[in-house]
């Protein structure tokens, strides 16, 4: 159990909290690169990608209620310092960065913060950043992981930036901590439409399960699951209209629809079909928006990620808020197998646009078989 530090006469002492931001995390999502590891960051810039972490970090910091109880320690420049102007609390800058930031900077500064006695480390990024933090601090201090990457499958992450702020407040109020998994996602395989993951390690996280996303579970390949996906596909194909553009998100259940139609589909990308043929493969935001201009009627077909239930905001960043708004909530088709849904308390969205997340929230129908549906709550 972690308790709040107290000074004389039971007065609360400030908690020393570190902040590290990965400034390039998430930039590859909207342009369809599925990550920013290695040279993908430069490629994302060439494709017109925009920074994601400034908005995520600002939203997170703005919703911490107990800021008066925080002594903030931050990484320099774009790795933290430039994002705290409106936080309203003094901060100490740790370390120095020259030139482009790197994973080595993250690991070095995190270790420096631990040596300076931080009580909690906050980081903004994706699975790659989580691995760097795991290397640097292990289980020595608790962390709060603010989701801002393309690949965010590790169980250590909060559902959203605002959920991460609630976790910080819970930590300050004395909640306990627990170990959560960090996954190693093979980004080269991910770009090649293969999800290859392994357990990388563990991080200590404030034990507030309602704010944690849960880890990625592999799709079932049992005979019954395969048959169920075929039934789902048969139903969706019967309902499809020739004058409508269908944007197909990642996942084996969605791919089963394309397979049944005899149309090639990338497993982890976004593809488009209309009039019974493929009209776009492995699309990014720009190419999706171009297709939307050609069709008056459009639909998005998605399946929740096993284990955490996300339909938007994890692994399909090509579905940006602009794209989702143009399609509209009433034209989102969700498909899943019943065995996946029974493990989920709810479905989740984390588009990076809080107002849109609230529009998407509520109950939606999920197709789970041939002419079979289930109502599931969507939480933003």
Domains of the chain, first to last: 8-211 (3.40.50.10330), 223-379 (3.40.50)
| Separation CA 380–CA 366 (nearest Å) | 17
- Tell me the whole-structure pTM to 2 decimals: 0.72
Cα 33 to Cα 190: distance, rounded to the nearest angstrom:
9
Look at residue 177 in the predicted model and tell me its pLDDT.
95
Q: Do residues 149 and 350 lie in contact, with contact meaning Cβ atoms separated by under 8 Å?
A: no
Residues of the chain with pLDDT under 70: 1-12, 26-51, 185-197, 215-223
Name the one residue in this structure whose structure tokens are 């593809």: 271
At 139 the pLDDT is 95
Beta bridge partners of 247: 272, 300
pLDDT for 332 equals 98
For residue 152, the model assigns a pLDDT of 83
- R_g (Cα) of the chain, nearest Å: 21
* Residues near 308 by beta carbon (within 8 Å), at least 6 away in sequence: 153, 155, 213, 214, 215, 216, 314, 348
Closest-CA residue to 14 (of 68, 81, 60, 55): 68
Per-residue confidence (pLDDT) for residue 191, from 0 to 100: 53
What pLDDT does 287 receive?
A: 95
Residue 7 has what pLDDT?
47
């Amino acid at each position: 159990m972690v308790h709040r530090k107290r000074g004389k006469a039971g007065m609360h002492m400030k908690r020393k909290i570190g902040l590290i931001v990965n400034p390039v995390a998430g930039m590859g999502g909207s342009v369809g690169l599925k990550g920013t590891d290695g040279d993908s960051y430069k490629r994302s810039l060439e494709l017109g990608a925009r920074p994601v972490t400034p908005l995520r970090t600002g939203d997170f910091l703005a919703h911490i209620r107990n800021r008066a109880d925080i002594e903030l320690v931050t990484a320099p420049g774009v790795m933290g310092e430039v994002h705290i102007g409106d936080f309203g609390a003094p901060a100490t800058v740790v370390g120095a960065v020259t030139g482009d930031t790197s994973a080595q900077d993250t690991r070095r500064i995190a270790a420096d913060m631990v040596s300076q006695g931080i009580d909690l480390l906050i980081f903004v990024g994706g699975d790659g950043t989580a691995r760097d933090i795991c290397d640097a601090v292990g289980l020595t201090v608790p962390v709060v992981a603010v989701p801002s990457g393309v690949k965010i499958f590790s169980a250590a992450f909060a559902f959203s930036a605002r959920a991460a702020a609630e976790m910080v407040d819970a930590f300050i109020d004395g909640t306990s901590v627990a170990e959560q998994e960090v996954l190693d996602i093979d980004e080269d395989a991910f770009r090649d439409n293969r999800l290859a993951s392994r357990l990388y390690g563990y991080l200590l996280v404030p034990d507030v399960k309602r704010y944690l996303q849960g880890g990625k579970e592999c799709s079932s390949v049992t005979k019954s699951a395969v048959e169920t996906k075929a039934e789902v596909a048969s139903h969706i194909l019967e309902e499809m209209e020739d004058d409508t553009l269908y944007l197909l998100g990642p996942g084996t259940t969605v791919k089963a629809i394309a397979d049944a139609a005899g149309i090639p589909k990338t497993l982890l990308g976004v593809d488009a079909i209309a009039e019974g043929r493929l009209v776009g493969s492995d699309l990014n935001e720009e190419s999706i928006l171009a297709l939307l201009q050609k069709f008056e009627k459009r639909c998005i077909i998605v399946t929740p990620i096993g284990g955490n239930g996300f339909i938007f905001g994890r692994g399909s960043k090509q579905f940006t808020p602009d794209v989702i708004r143009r399609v509209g909530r009433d034209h989102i088709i969700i498909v899943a197998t019943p065995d996946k849904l029974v493990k989920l308390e709810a479905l989740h969205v984390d588009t990076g646009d809080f107002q849109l997340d609230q529009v998407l929230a509520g109950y939606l129908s999920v197709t789970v078989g041939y002419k079979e549906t289930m109502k599931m709550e969507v939480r933003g």
